[in-house]
A and B are shown apart, each in its own frame.
Chain A
Amino acid sequence: EAEVAQSPRYKITEKSQAVAFWCDPISGHATLYWYRQILGQGPELLVQFQDESVVDDSQLPKDRFSAERLKGVDSTLKIQPAELGDSAMYLCASSPPGRSPLHFGNGTRLTVT
């Protein structure tokens, strides 16, 4: 079964440094999402792409977070500068058109020290 690939699996960085996460969705899935999950809570949507276009980034802290999906396939989420409160699991998901379920990757666990 095809999977959503994410890297790195774990990342430790110092506050004020820049960090980037990469996601490769399931082939053919036009919609891609980035979620953030703080320990003990459910995932919260940061940004949603349809092909290369941003559909919803209302919850993305734009002063420090940026996301791109230049060719409408893989995507990168960047944080600059990282803050202690950014420590969380960053999950990528993709879905085909319609009311199809989301397929999540196994995330990148970020620790900011």
Chain B
Amino acid sequence: LAKTTQPISMDSYEGQEVNITCSHNNIATNDYITWYQQFPSQGPRFIIQGYKTKVTNEVASLFIPADRKSSTLSLPRVSLSDTAVYYCPLNYGGSQGNLIFGKGTKLSVKP
């Protein structure tokens, strides 16, 4: 089963761009890379999903190199409300929803 590795924590200041990298050396051919955000006492919330190259939506960008062994979530101009834990679970077993979550990256945004 493919595992993911992320930094335990990151600090940033308001208005900065934040890049969180996730390593997934054993990603399978059919796996998609997904990122979720979680606030305390809430369930995870989907941010973005991709298979290769670059994906952008209204809140973030996802960069995936050709070998797909890592991915980078980019949050432009973060605010205090972006303080949360960010996860990059992979879909394993070909069944959507069998996501393996690591411990995530706790992002702290300071004023």
Question: Residues on A close to B: CB < 8 A?
Answer: 4, 31, 33, 40-45, 48, 55-56, 91, 93, 95, 98-107, 109
Which A residues are in CB contact (< 8 Å) with B46?
A: 101-103
Over the window 9-41 of chain B, the binary record of Cβ atoms lying under 8 Å from chain A Cβ atoms (1 yes, 0 no) is 000000000000000000000001010000001
**Does the CB pair B98–A101 fall under 8 Å?**
no
Which B residues are in CB contact (< 8 Å) with A109?
A: 41
**Does the CB pair B96–A104 fall under 8 Å?**
no
What's the minimum C-beta distance from A59 to chain B, rounded to whole angstroms?
A: 10
Which B residues are in CB contact (< 8 Å) with A98?
A: 96
Cα of A41 to Cα of B103 in the assembled complex, Å: 5
What's the minimum C-beta distance from A98 to chain B, rounded to whole angstroms?
A: 7
Please tell me the size bucket of the interface on B: 20 to 34
**Does the CB pair A100–B96 fall under 8 Å?**
yes
Q: A42-B102, A99-B32, A101-B49 known; A91 and B97 CB under 8 Å?
A: no
**Does the CB pair B43–A48 fall under 8 Å?**
no
Let me know if B99 is at the binding interface, CB within 8 A.
yes
Which A residues are in CB contact (< 8 Å) with B45?
A: 104
What's the minimum C-beta distance from A62 to chain B, rounded to whole angstroms?
A: 18
What's the minimum C-beta distance from A12 to chain B, rounded to whole angstroms?
A: 15
Let me know if B83 is at the binding interface, CB within 8 A.
no
**Does the CB pair B43–A45 fall under 8 Å?**
no
**Does the CB pair A42–B43 fall under 8 Å?**
no
What's the minimum C-beta distance from B5 to chain A, rounded to whole angstroms?
A: 12
Q: Which residues of chain B (73-99) have a CB below 8 Å from chain A?
A: 87, 89, 91, 93, 95-99
**Does the CB pair A42–B97 fall under 8 Å?**
no
Cα of A94 to Cα of B100 in the assembled complex, Å: 16
* Choice from A4, A31, A41 contacting B97 with Cβ under 8 Å: A31
